[in-house]
Amino acid sequence: MNNKQITLIKTGIFLLALTPFSLLLLRGWSNELGANPIETITNTTGIWILRFLVITLAITPLRRLTGQAILIRFRRMMGLFTFFYASLHFLTYVWLDQYFDWPFIVEDIAEHPYIIVGFTTFLILLSLAVTSPRFMIRKMGKNWKNLHRLVYLAAFLGTTHFIWQVKSDIREPLLYFALFSVLMLLRIPAIQRKTPQFTGWFRSVKA
């Protein structure tokens, strides 16, 4: 696969990844966000953070299972889209939901664990996004890998944040918990040795 093809695929994925955001704008513009638009925006941006985090964390195991090295070329973009939706989610909270009422926001963060957990997750994703450019990887060396392992913590905290604001029906947060658990189990060497690989099913595409 040449660079031109990769760029084409990347552009396609980029536009696809923007769809949830575009749909939200469209629904807002055509007045279809429901009785509580701010809640709809908060929930929609929130769930897409977790979805993109699942996609991001699925790339490494998928690469191993399928032998498709090319997949890794899309990982950073998926990670950055996770951060994009996290930023929208955070912005929705401070702007639309709280309307920059800083004293209240500080109190909210201090007093309510699910807000603290959500805020911490955002800070982690922010630090990962800031250190994502290639020159940062070079500059940070070994520290880069250590820092970026925090993505697993972000997945766990993000799911906790979700569970903690649900009143009683925890089915959806549990689904994400299960998905993240599987993706983490697939990273354990002892488990990796036992999982079959399907490299033969695909025509190998070099990255």
Are 109 and 121 contacting, i.e. CB atoms less than 8 angstroms apart?
A: no
Rounded least distance, CB 120 to other proteins, Å = 16
Name the CA radius of gyration of the chain, rounded: 19
Rounded least distance, CB 96 to other proteins, Å = 6
Binding site for other proteins (CB under 8 A): 25, 28-29, 31, 33-39, 95-99, 104, 107-108, 111-114, 164-165, 167-171, 174
Is the Cβ of residue 114 or residue 144 nearer to other proteins in the bound state? 114
Are 78 and 176 contacting, i.e. CB atoms less than 8 angstroms apart?
A: no
Rounded least distance, CB 152 to other proteins, Å = 24
Rounded least distance, CB 47 to other proteins, Å = 12
Report d(CA 162, CA 189) in Å as an integer: 30
Is the Cβ of residue 29 or residue 135 nearer to other proteins in the bound state? 29
CA distance readout (Å), 25 to 15, 29, 39, 69, 182: 15, 6, 14, 35, 33
Report d(CA 174, CA 179) in Å as an integer: 9
Is the Cβ of residue 20 or residue 37 nearer to other proteins in the bound state? 37
Is the Cβ of residue 61 or residue 118 nearer to other proteins in the bound state? 118
Is the Cβ of residue 113 or residue 133 nearer to other proteins in the bound state? 113
Rounded least distance, CB 25 to other proteins, Å = 7
